[in-house]
């Protein structure tokens, strides 16, 4: 068993053929992940008891001749903003360093019911705020492809764990690109499904009109299998969608001939040249598969970053109000009065980026500024979503870069928050519109840095997105 490159298909065959048990696989996966972790800091903590118990359940089901589930024995990393009952969940924040959730997120319950084996909790930017994973209170994550560079963020630990073979698949969260951008930087597949496709019960809230639970895998099929299991209506999240969940793998049948693809011209300006060249080669491969490619326009793209950072900070300032020193483990030692308790707990507990976003959010929502910022941004969001609706009248999918450049060096953008925000340009639009999007590996630069290609489709058309991405991957990616 080659642990670092295992796929779900190989695990299914291995278990079915009795070549290894789920318990043996979990033991080996834990050993490998723990041994490799100092190289990347991808995991914040492991939960071996929980992992081995899950593996034993799979083996018992197999011994009974019962179906052990579609993720039977699959080692999974879960981003530390998704709650796990009895397993510390810190959100990458000092404030929650000791927080032990009393319940499991729906996505966690579903993946364990499907036989998945959670190895541990993955590092991330504090409360999922960041594009480099440098905002974690527990140290940055290093990119497995280049240890002096960031893995992307905010789900940097989930992406790095999958890239280095320390998990087969992982759950992350995406509010403005936090799954696709690290997937692109680390050279794995990252999926942001339609808004509402996956229940967010148990996802610690950052910006509720933008938050998604996303999926990572080393292959399109593996990421699709994970989404298959966690997707679908959940009574515990009233924003989760009722739309039926189709069989993604059955629909990823390679039939992409005649698919109409749009290249939004606004997404091909200001690209690093190697990134642009690799995406261009990827587009040629798609043409070679029989796709019809045309240039289109998403005219409101230049307004997306301003729009996004108003809405997400406003929502974050509201969502993070709950960390008040009364309920969630941490209270400042100087809490003489109630007001001191609030102000000091939050002042001492939140990191710099969280404070910056809480401040921005409080400012744009404050009396006299609401119409100028928040309401204006909500209107611009409508325009951005309309751009996509119009594009999807002409084409079946959009193909774009994920990030203007590959993974940058640790520390390179830390001192310039606006510069960091601007790097999210190609990923935040999909979140603003609520459409499904993914990053699929599209070659490497001369220096060996992975580059991802983004595919975006209509609301609830994850199947079309997977079909195109899987055909591209099967054709050999941009080397095809």
Partner 1 sequence: MKLTEEQVRYVAGLANLKLTAEEIRRFSSDLGEILAYMDKLNELDTRAVEPMAQVLYEAEETATWRADQERAVIGAEAALANAPLSGAGFFKVPKVIER
52 binds partner 1 (CB under 8 A): no
Q: Which residues contact 39 (CB under 8 A, 6 or more apart)?
A: 142, 144, 147, 164
Whole-angstrom Cα distance, residue 189 to residue 163? 9
355 binds partner 1 (CB under 8 A): yes
Nearest to partner 1 of 303, 405 (CB atom): 303
Nearest to partner 1 of 247, 340 (CB atom): 340
Region 27-46 residues binding partner 1, contact defined as CB under 8 A: none
Residue 154, preceding peptide bond in cis (omega within 30° of 0): yes
Region 69-108 residues binding partner 1, contact defined as CB under 8 A: 98-100, 102-103
Q: Tokens for 78, please give them.
A: 């879960």
The DSSP code for 404 is: S
The DSSP annotation for 6-37 comes to --HHHHHHHHHTTSS-HHHHHHHHHHHHHHHH
Draw the binding track, 450-479, toward partner 1 (x: CB under 8 A; -: no contact). Answer: ---------x--------------------
Whole-angstrom Cα distance, residue 161 to residue 140? 13
382 binds partner 1 (CB under 8 A): yes
Rg of the chain in Å (alpha carbons): 21
Catalytic residue among 79, 173, 403, 439: 79
Smallest gap from residue 142 Cβ to partner 1 (A): 27
Region 107-126 residues binding partner 1, contact defined as CB under 8 A: none
Nearest to partner 1 of 23, 388 (CB atom): 388
Tell me, yes or no, if 79 is annotated catalytic: yes
- Single out the residue of 43, 127, 373, 426 in contact with partner 1 (rule: CB under 8 A): 373
340 binds partner 1 (CB under 8 A): yes
Region 154-213 residues binding partner 1, contact defined as CB under 8 A: 194-196, 209-210
Nearest to partner 1 of 76, 305 (CB atom): 305
By rule CB under 8 A, what count of residues binds partner 1?
75
Catalytic residue among 178, 184, 403, 439: 178
| Beta carbons of 406 and 276 less than 8 angstroms apart | no
- Single out the residue of 27, 297, 329, 445 in contact with partner 1 (rule: CB under 8 A): 329
330 binds partner 1 (CB under 8 A): yes
Tell me, yes or no, if 355 is annotated catalytic: no
Going by C-alpha positions, the residue among 290, 144, 270 that lies closest to residue 218 is 144
Smallest gap from residue 303 Cβ to partner 1 (A): 6
297 binds partner 1 (CB under 8 A): no
* SS3 of 283-343: HHHHHHCCCEEEEECCCCHHHHHHHHHHHHHHHHHHHHHHCCCCCCCCCCCCCCCHHHHHH
> 440: helix, coil or strand?
strand
Nearest to partner 1 of 98, 113 (CB atom): 98
Residue ranges of alpha helices (H) inside 366-461 are 376-394, 417-422, 425-433
Nearest to partner 1 of 6, 463 (CB atom): 463
Q: Which residues are catalytic?
A: 79, 154, 178
């Amino acid at each position: 068993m080659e642990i670092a490159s295992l796929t779900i298909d190989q695990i299914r065959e291995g278990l079915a053929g009795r070549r290894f048990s789920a318990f043996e696989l979990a033991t080996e996966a834990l050993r490998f992940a723990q041994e490799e972790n100092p190289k990347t800091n991808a995991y914040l903590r492991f939960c071996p008891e929980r992992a081995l118990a899950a593996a034993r359940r799979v083996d018992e089901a197999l011994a009974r001749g019962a179906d052990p589930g579609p993720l039977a024995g699959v080692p999974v990393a879960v981003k530390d903003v998704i709650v796990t009952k009895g397993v510390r969940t810190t959100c990458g924040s000092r404030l929650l360093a000791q927080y032990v959730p009393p319940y499991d997120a729906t996505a966690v319950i579903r993946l364990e019911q499907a036989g998945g084996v959670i190895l541990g909790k993955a590092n991330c930017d504090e409360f999922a705020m960041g594009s480099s994973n440098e905002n974690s209170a527990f140290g940055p994550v290093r990119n497995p492809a280049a240890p002096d560079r960031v893995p992307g963020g905010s789900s940097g630990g989930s992406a790095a764990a999958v890239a280095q073979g320390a998990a087969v698949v992982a759950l992350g969260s995406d509010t403005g690109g936090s799954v696709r951008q690290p997937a692109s930087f680390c050279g794995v597949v990252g999926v942001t499904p339609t808004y509402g496709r996956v229940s967010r019960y148990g996802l610690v809230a950052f910006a509720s009109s933008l938050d998604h639970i996303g999926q990572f895998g080393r292959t399109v099929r593996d990421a699709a299998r994970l989404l298959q299991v966690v997707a679908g209506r959940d009574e515990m999240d009233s924003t989760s969608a009722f739309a039926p969940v189709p069989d993604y793998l059955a629909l990823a049948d390679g039939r992409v001939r005649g698919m109409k693809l749009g290249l939004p011209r606004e997404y091909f300006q200001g690209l690093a040249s190697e990134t642009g060249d690799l995406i261009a080669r990827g587009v040629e491969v798609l043409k070679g598969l029989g796709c019809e490619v045309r240039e289109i326009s998403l005219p409101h793209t230049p307004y997306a970053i301003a729009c996004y950072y108003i809405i997400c900070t406003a929502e974050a300032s509201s969502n993070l109000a709950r960390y008040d020193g009364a309920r969630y483990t941490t209270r400042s030692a100087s809490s003489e009065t109630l007001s001191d308790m609030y102000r000091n707990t939050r002042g001492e507990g939140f990191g710099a980026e969280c404070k910056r976003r809480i401040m921005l959010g409080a400012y744009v929502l404050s009396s006299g500024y609401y119409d100028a910022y928040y309401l204006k941004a909500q209107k611009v969001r409508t325009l951005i979503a309309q751009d996509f609706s119009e594009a999807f009248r002409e084409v079946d999918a959009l193909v774009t870069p994920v990030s203007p450049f590959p993974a940058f060096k640790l520390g390179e953008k830390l001192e310039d928050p606006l510069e960091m925000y601007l790097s999210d340009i190609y990923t935040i639009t999909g979140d603003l519109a609520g459409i499904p999007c993914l990053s699929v590996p599209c070659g490497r630069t001369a220096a060996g840095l992975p580059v991802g290609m983004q595919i975006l489709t209509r609301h609830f058309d994850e199947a079309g997105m997977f079909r195109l991405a899987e055909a591209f991957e099967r054709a050999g990616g941009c080397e095809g």
